[in-house]
Each structure stands twice: as C-alpha cells, then as structure tokens.
Amino acid sequence: MSIGIIGKKIGMTQLFDDQGFVIPVTLLQVGPCTITNIKKENQYTKVQIGYQEMNPDKLTKAMVGHFTKNNLPCFKYLKEYKIKNNKTKEIGEVIRIEEIKKEKSVTISGISIGKGFSGYQKRHKFSRGPMSHGSKNHREPGSIGAGTTPGRVFPGKKMAGRMGNKKVSIKNLKIVKTDNKNNILIIKGSIPGKKGNIIYINQQ
C-alpha cells in the first residue's frame, strides 16, 4: 500500500552499527498528518493530507471553507498522492509514523539548498582554461553558439545562472531507525534541503 506523509528535516548526525562502522544519517520529524480530501478516479484515488495545524485567520476564506466543510482543523501544508482504488481511506483519518515499514525503502522529496547565481564551473562542472599569463580564458565559458547559421543560441544552453532551490527526489533511501514516541525517522545518507525544510516521504 502506498503511504504518503509530510515531515521536517531536523539535521544530520552519525550512528555506529554492530560492527563499529560509522553510518551518516539524517533525522526527520515526521507527521502526524490528517487526510483532508479524497478524490476517486477510474483506476486510482487521490488522497490529500495536511500537516502542521495553524490559525485560520492566516488563511483565505476558500481554504478555511475547504477544512470546515469536513469539520477539520486548518493546516499549513497540504500534499496530494495517489493510491489504488481497492485501498480504503477516510477523510479525517490520521496517518502516523507507525504506518511506515522499516524493512522497505522510501522516496523523499524536498527543495534543495539555493546556491545563488553561480558560474559555469560551479554550476555545470566545466573545466577551466589555461592559467598562464597570456591566457585570457581562465573561467570564461568560451563560445556559446555559431555565427550566421543558426545565428542564435539554442535553448537549454549550459550557462551561468541560479543554482539549487529546486525540487529534488531521492529514491530507495534506507530506514535505519524509527522513534514512534517522538515521531522521529532516521534515514541513511542525506536528503534535499537545509534544516527546518518541509519534506515529503512516500513508501510504496
């Protein structure tokens, strides 16, 4: 069964396994999330979940009406995912960290750390030019297009620009440990984003 849940990145640390090897891990504050809406399609069902209750005064009337229609509190973050039609879910049902199976891997999505306006070498791993005194091409990109034909630069050309701050998904992340009491999920390796970022966890 597909499980979707929203959480927050706490930070990174390290653990030691039974053989004494160091394992880099990421700590996540996960859930609980509440099902706020269900839409049934032909072959699958769309499930919308809400995370982190908030004051309704800070939301629009449309969003407040969306929650009050089903007698639910207002949530700051919403996320939608798909499940098969043969799986039953109800509006108002709470999804907790206990539903995540430790033996299965998870997919985590988040917004990567923004690096600002970056040059060619940092953004696209270009090699530098000669560093001798006569060279005038140390960190420049070089030619970016032809002359008369086609007479323009093709779209998608790798050039300097904003780096990071994009949605990134990492698949097949291993669960090292879960703390059901404190809603803490420990994942092996790193995940996108900085401390405090909202992340989305999906397990098939």
Encode pLDDT of 28-84 as tens digits.
Answer: 999 789 998 888 877 788 888 999 888 888 888 988 898 888 888 889 899 988 887
Residue 115 burial (CB count, 10 A):
12
Both tokens assigned to 171: 């698949």
- Closest by CA to 95, choosing from 128, 134, 51, 54, is 51
Per-residue pLDDT at 1: 57
- Closest by CA to 170, choosing from 105, 108, 104, is 108
Per-residue pLDDT at 203: 86
How many percent of the chain have pLDDT more than 90? Answer: 41
Apex 188 CA angle, 95 and 32, nearest 5: 15
- pTM of whole model > 0.75? yes
Please, which residues bridge with residue 169 across strands? 109
The alpha helices in the chain, defined as continuous H runs, are 61-68, 120-124
Per-residue pLDDT at 57: 87
For residue 27, is pLDDT > 70? Answer: yes
User: Domain ranges in the chain?
Assistant: 3-117+166-203, 118-145+155-163
Per-residue pLDDT at 14: 93
Q: Which element (helix H / strand E) includes 185?
A: strand 184-188
Distance, CA of 98 to CA of 93 (rounded, Å): 14
Which pLDDT band, with edges at 50, 70 and 90, does 86 fall under? low
Class of domain 3-117+166-203: mainly beta
Range 173-178, long-range pairs (CB < 8 A, 24+ positions)? 173/105, 173/106, 173/107, 173/108, 174/105, 175/100, 175/102, 175/104, 175/105, 175/106, 176/15, 176/23, 176/25, 177/15, 177/102, 178/97, 178/100, 178/102
Q: What is the CA radius of gyration of the chain?
A: 23
As a whole number, mean pLDDT of residues 85-107 equals: 82
Per-residue pLDDT at 101: 86
Please, which residues bridge with residue 185 across strands? 28, 178
Encode pLDDT of 118-157 as tens digits.
Answer: 999 999 999 998 999 998 889 888 888 888 888 899 999 9
Both tokens assigned to 38: 């269900």
As a whole number, mean pLDDT of residues 13-25 equals: 91
Distance, CA of 28 to CA of 17 (rounded, Å): 19
Distance, CA of 43 to CA of 82 (rounded, Å): 10
Per-residue pLDDT at 113: 94
Q: What is the mean pLDDT of the chain?
A: 88
